[in-house]
Amino acid sequence: MTKNKITPEEALAYHLEPKPGKYEIVATTPMATQRDLSLAYSPGVAVPVQAIADRPETAYDYTVKGNMVAVISNGTAILGMGNLGALASKPVMEGKAVLFKRFADVNAIDIELDTEDPEEIIKAVSLMGPTFGGINLEDIKAPECFIIEQRLKEMMDIPVFHDDQHGTAVICAAGLLNALEISGKKIEDCRIVLNGAGAAGIACLELLKAMGARHDNCIMCDTKGVIYQGRTEGMNQWKSAHAARTDARTLEDAMMGADVFLGVSAKGAVTPEMVASMAENPVIFAMANPDPEITPEEAHAVRADAIVATGRSDYPNQVNNVLGFPYLFRGALDIHARAINDEMKIACARALAALAREDVPDEVAMAYGRKLSFGRDYIIPTPFDPRLIYVIPPAVAKAGMDTGVARRPIIDLKAYELSLKSRMDPTASILQGVHARARQAQARMIFAEGDDPRVLRAAVAYQRAGLGKALVVGREQDVREKLDAAGLHDAVRELEIVNAANSRHLDTYKDFLYNRLQRQGFDRHDIHRLAARDRHVFSALMLAHGHGDGLVTGATRKSAHVLSLINHVFDATAADGAVGITALLHKGRIVLMGDTLVQEWPEPEDLANIAVRAAAVARGLGLEPRVAFVSFSTFGYPVSERATKMHEAPKVLDRMKVDFEYEGEMTVDVALNPTAMAGYPFCRLSGPANILVVPARHSASISVKLMQEMAGATVIGPILTGVKKPIQICSSNSTVNDILNMAALAACKIG
C-alpha cells in the first residue's frame, strides 16, 4: 500500500499559500457599470427586499440563502485533538467549507464561536436563521452538542445537523452494512464494541440499534472503560441510555470475542492484543482523526482476516463524514428542506452502501489508479467518486419529500439527477485522476533544474506524495543549501541528487551524443560541454538511457531554448511530429489547445497530426475528444487564404479515418457555444469542442496567455507529445504546484 507522507512544513505551506486560508468569496454578478450598481444596490435592491418581506420563501430565489450553509464550531472537540478553542478550529472549519463546495457545490462559510456555554451558542446560531439554508455544527464536544443540536432543531426552520454525530453515524452504518455482508454476519447477531461515548459514538450506536443491532450485544466504552449498568463515574443521560448489563470493565475485556469494533475515541486506544482476541472475520473501524485507534498495518499483522477502515484518506476504506455531509445538505437544500430527518440519513446510508456494491466505472478506477471492486479493501465509495453527487442527493431529497420536510418538492427526479451530473466542476477531478495514476505508475522522475527552489520543492512533494522517486540534477551542496532555505532540511536525505561528476554513465552518454551529433558540426569538446555542463542535455541523456522514467524541465529557461537542447538527444522537432498541447481549465470547463510549443506554421497534414495528438491527450485525461479546427471564418465564410488550411485539415482526418469527432473550420464561438453551433445543423460535433486546433503557434500563445491573464484560467502545459519518452516542459513562471502537475503528467505518460 502506498502511503502519502505529509510533513508539517507542507501542511503549513498549503494553508499559507497562495493566500492565507483555503477559500475566498467570489461575486457571481458583474459590478462593472453604473447600471449594475443601481440594480445590485440602491435603488434596485429594494425590489427583492420588498418581495421577500411580502413572501419570505422568495428569499430562496433572490438571495444565496438556498445554497448557503454555516459551518459552526466552538472548537471543544477538534477532530480527536480535544478542546483547543474556537480560533484553533478555524482550519478544520474552513476545510469543511471547501469540502462542501468541492464535492456538492454548496456554498459554506465557517463561523467560530468563542464560548463553551451552550446557551450562548444556541442564542447566536438561532439568530442566524435568515442567512442560511442549513446549519452544520462541527467539532462541538459531547454532551453539550446534544443539547445545542436538539434546541436549535426545535427553534429553527432550516436543517440543523451535527456532522460529528449524524454524518459519522451515516457513513459508519453504510460501511458496516457492507463489511458485515462480506464477513457473512448479520447485524442483529453481532457483538459490537464502540469506544468513545461522545458526539460520534452515541450517534453511531443509536443509528446501528435503529438498524437492527441488539442493545444486549453492544458495549460502549469511554476513558473510564466499559459503560455498564450501575456505573456512576463520568456518566450522563446519553451514556446511561447505552449502559450494558455486563461484567466486562475494560475495553480489553469487552473486545474479547467481539465481531465489530468501532472507534471514535483517540489515537492508539486499541492494542494488537485486543484485536487478536476478537471473533473470526472481525470488523474494525478505527475512525479517530487524524490518527486512528489502531493502524490497518497493526491490525492486519495480528488478524489477516480483519476488515479494517479508518477515517483517513491514505488507507483503503475511508469511513469519514466527508462522504455524507456535502450530499445530505445538497439534497436537503434542493428541496428547501425544513430539517434533515432520520429517514433522510438512512436513505443516505443505504444509497452509499449500494453504490459501493455497484461495478466501479473505468473513470473512477482511472482516478484512483487501481481497480476497485466490492470487497475487503473497498466497502465504501471513495470520496473522489464522481457518482456520489448524482446518486446520494436524489436519495436524500426523495426521503425528505416522502416524509414531508420539503418546502419545494422536486417534480422530476430524473431531470434533477441530470442537473447534478453537470453541476460539478470536472477540472478538479481531472487533476486528481492524473495524480492517482502517477501514484500507481511510481515513475522515477528526473527534475533537471535542481538549482531552482521551486523545482526542489516540487521534487520533494513528488516523492512525499508517494508519486515515485525524484531524481534531482544539481550540485549536492547547492541543493542542500536551497532545501535548507526552503525549510526542507530532511529532504536532502530523501532525494537522489545526480550530476555529471557523480554519474557512472557520463562516458556512455557522451558516446551516444557524439554518434547523434558528429555530422552536425559537434566535436568531442562540444559533446563534453553539452553532456557534462548542460543539465537539460544531461537529464535528457539520463532519460534516453533508462536512468529515469520521465523528465521535467523548463522552469528556468525559455521553453523554445529547452526544447532545442532536448533535441540534441531526442527527435522532438516539428518534422518529427512533436506537438505541444495546453490544457485550459476555467469555470468548470476544460479545453485543450494545440500546437502551443513546436509547430510554428503547421500545414493541413500537421494540423491533422496535432488533432490526433491532442485527442490522445484528451483520452489520457479521461475526456472524449471533440476537435474543432478554429479560424476567423466558419465553414468557408469569409473566404480567406489564411483560413484555407483550416478548411483542409478535416479532410486529411477524413482520409485517416480517425476514431474521434472533428470539424472545421469555425470560429471559437461556434466551437464552444452550443447556441452558435446550432446555426450550423450539419456540424458533425455532438457537443461543444474540447480541443481547439489553431492555425499557428502565435495564435495559440496569444489565446492561452489571454485566457490566463484576463480570465484567470488555470493552464496546464504545454504537454509535449509525440516524443519517444515522457518529457514535460514547464514555463518559467511555473509555481511549485505547476511543476508537480507536469511531473505527474510525465509519470502517467500523458503525451
Ligand X SMILES: NC(=O)C1=CN([C@@H]2O[C@H](COP(=O)(O)OP(=O)(O)OC[C@H]3O[C@@H](n4cnc5c(N)ncnc54)[C@H](OP(=O)(O)O)[C@@H]3O)[C@@H](O)[C@H]2O)C=CC1
Closest approach of Cβ 325 to ligand PYR, in Å? 8
Strand order in the sheet with 192-195: 225-226, 218-222, 192-195, 260-263, 283-286, 307-310
User: Under rule CB under 5 A, which residues in 125-154 are in contact with Mg ion?
Assistant: 139
Helices (H), 105-217: 118-126, 144-155, 168-183, 199-210
Which option in Mg ion, ligand X, ligand PYR, none does residue 110 bind, with CB closer than 5 to 8 A by kind?
none
User: Under rule CB under 6 A, which residues in 262-281 are in contact with ligand X?
Assistant: 264-266, 269
Closest approach of Cβ 285 to ligand X, in Å? 8
- Cα separation, 454 vs 451, whole angstroms: 9
Exactly one of 6, 39, 51, 79 binds ligand PYR (CB under 6 A); which one? 79
The helices-and-strands tally (H runs, E runs) of the chain is 32, 21
CB 183 within 8 A of CB 176: no
With respect to ligand PYR, which residue has the nearer C-beta, 178 or 289?
289
* 663 near ligand X, judged by CB under 6 A: no
Hey, what's the cell of 62? 433572490
In three-state secondary structure terms, 90 is helix
- Cα separation, 373 vs 289, whole angstroms: 26
Q: Is 271 left (phi over 0), alpha (psi -120 to 50) or beta?
A: beta
Exactly one of 110, 149, 164, 738 binds ligand PYR (CB under 6 A); which one? 164
* 149 near ligand X, judged by CB under 6 A: no
- Of 347, 328, 172, give the one whose Cα is nearest residue 263: 172
Exactly one of 289, 463, 599, 731 binds ligand PYR (CB under 6 A); which one? 289
CB count in 10 Å sphere of residue 483: 23
82 labelled binding-site residue? yes
Exactly one of 15, 209, 214, 224 binds ligand X (CB under 6 A); which one? 224
- Cα separation, 543 vs 144, whole angstroms: 61
User: Under rule CB under 6 A, which residues in 295-354 are in contact with ligand PYR?
Assistant: 311, 320-321
Closest approach of Cβ 305 to ligand X, in Å? 23
- Residues noted as catalytic: 96
* 385 near Mg ion, judged by CB under 5 A: no
Closest approach of Cβ 117 to ligand X, in Å? 17
* 80 near ligand X, judged by CB under 6 A: yes
Residue bearing cell 463546495: 101
With respect to ligand PYR, which residue has the nearer C-beta, 73 or 631?
73
Considering only 4-12, 19-27, 162-170, 311-319, which stretch makes contact with Mg ion by CB under 5 A? 162-170
Which option in Mg ion, ligand PYR, ligand X, none does residue 198 bind, with CB closer than 5 to 8 A by kind?
ligand X
With respect to ligand X, which residue has the nearer C-beta, 262 or 430?
262
CB 647 within 8 A of CB 604: no
Omega of the bond leading into 361 within 30 degrees of 0 (cis): no
Residue bearing cell 495546453: 582
Closest approach of Cβ 271 to ligand X, in Å? 12
With respect to Mg ion, which residue has the nearer C-beta, 320 or 559?
320
78 labelled binding-site residue? yes
* 164 near Mg ion, judged by CB under 5 A: yes
451: amino acid identity, one letter: D
686: amino acid identity, one letter: S
For the window 311-330, what string marks contact with ligand X as x by the rule CB under 6 A? x-------xxx---------
- Cα separation, 74 vs 148, whole angstroms: 12
- What is the maximal distance between C-alpha atoms in the chain? 94
- Cα separation, 135 vs 163, whole angstroms: 10
What's the N-to-C CA distance of the chain in angstroms?
A: 27
SS3 content of the chain, % helix, strand, coil (to 5): 45, 15, 40
User: Under rule CB under 6 A, which residues in 151-190 are in contact with ligand X?
Assistant: 164, 168
138 labelled binding-site residue? yes
Closest approach of Cβ 725 to Mg ion, in Å? 46
Strand-pairing partners, residue 244, are: 228
Q: Residues touching ligand X: how many (CB under 6 A)?
A: 30
Q: Which residues bind Mg ion (CB under 5 A)?
A: 139, 164
> Can you say which residues are annotated as belonging to the binding site?
78-85, 138-139, 164, 289
> Can you say which residues are annotated as belonging to the binding site for NADP(+)?
78-85
Q: Which residues bind ligand PYR (CB under 6 A)?
A: 79, 139, 163-164, 289, 311, 320-321
Q: Which residues bind ligand X (CB under 6 A)?
A: 77, 79-80, 141-142, 164, 168, 195-201, 221-224, 234, 264-266, 269, 287-289, 311, 319-321
> Can you say which residues are annotated as belonging to the binding site for a divalent metal cation?
138-139, 164, 289
